[in-house]
Structure 1
Amino acid sequence: MSISSAIPPVDADLPLVDGLRLAMRRLAASVSVVTLRDDKGAAGATVSALCSLSFDPPSVLIALNQSGSVHDRLLAADTYAINILHADQQDVSRTFGQPNRTADCFKPGEWEDVMGAPCLIGAQSTLVCRRAAELPHGSHRVIVGEVLWTRSRTEVDPLLYADGGYRRLADI
């Protein structure tokens, strides 16, 4: 194997944090919104990461900003939903991505309550979870959720985000 140095990396002279930010912008990911309902009402936020963790027990993990308005409420909630957005739900993503969102963030889309959590009707997939474990790290907290219920659309067309913009899945 030979390594060519003819084309230098774009981030060769960037500080590490800027290089990491640039690298992560190139990682296409489905857009997901975590939602909950508690005695204060419904709330939600986009999550910076979602990953399948285990099938035994069925588990996923999310990363959630610890300074966000939903963080403490999620840690106290009995159940929460992870709504993986469909390509036609950019308005939901934009609304839940606003820093000062209120209960009005539930105006885009149609919502139903499943096991105490607001679930987006027509999402690419929805998972209802119960918090099983957590790990704070830096500005975020990794939360492991035990999956209690799922629903998915038949066609596969998730809303993707990469390099600062929305993308579509292309068949190769």
Structure 2
Amino acid sequence: MPDSFPGVLVLCTGNSARSILGEAMLATLGAGRLRAYSAGSKPKGVPHPGALRLLARRGIDTAAFSSKSWNTFTAPGAPRIDVAITVCDNAAQESCPVFIGAPVKGHWGLPDPADVHGTDADVDAAFEATWQALEVRVHRLLAARFEDMTQAKLAEFLSAIGQMDSAA
């Protein structure tokens, strides 16, 4: 993917569930338009099994997904990040590192499906609900020419998306 495409980093504390889903969805729906990544402030080390099951059910190859630190994107030679979206309230309140590219930041808080315990069916239902809520937001982002917005307009737009009702 050319570096000229905007880099979008989806952040969460553990980088095992919501941010992994966000990266997968942005990479799939935004293919040819953006570069998608995910990371966490305190990565769990591996993606949540529920996230991997959901991606596999949707025909998305899970091999490329890993739970990694957001520091991966601060080092020299790291991909340029133009947009950083937090999907959990904890990560939104943490001090983000300085990313190369000084990204526009947005917050799209979503319930953590990794907090659901029970049968695989219970966990899978929680991951599906998170996917659907995230999908509404990603479609809204991609429906606009966000790449052409000023940083101030993009920040306002990301905030408006974050305020969307998940059932919209």
Fold match, TM over 0.5? no
Max radius of gyration: which structure?
A: 1
Structure with more strand by fraction: 1
The TM-score, its normalising length taken from structure 1, stands at 0.25
The TM-score, its normalising length taken from structure 2, stands at 0.25
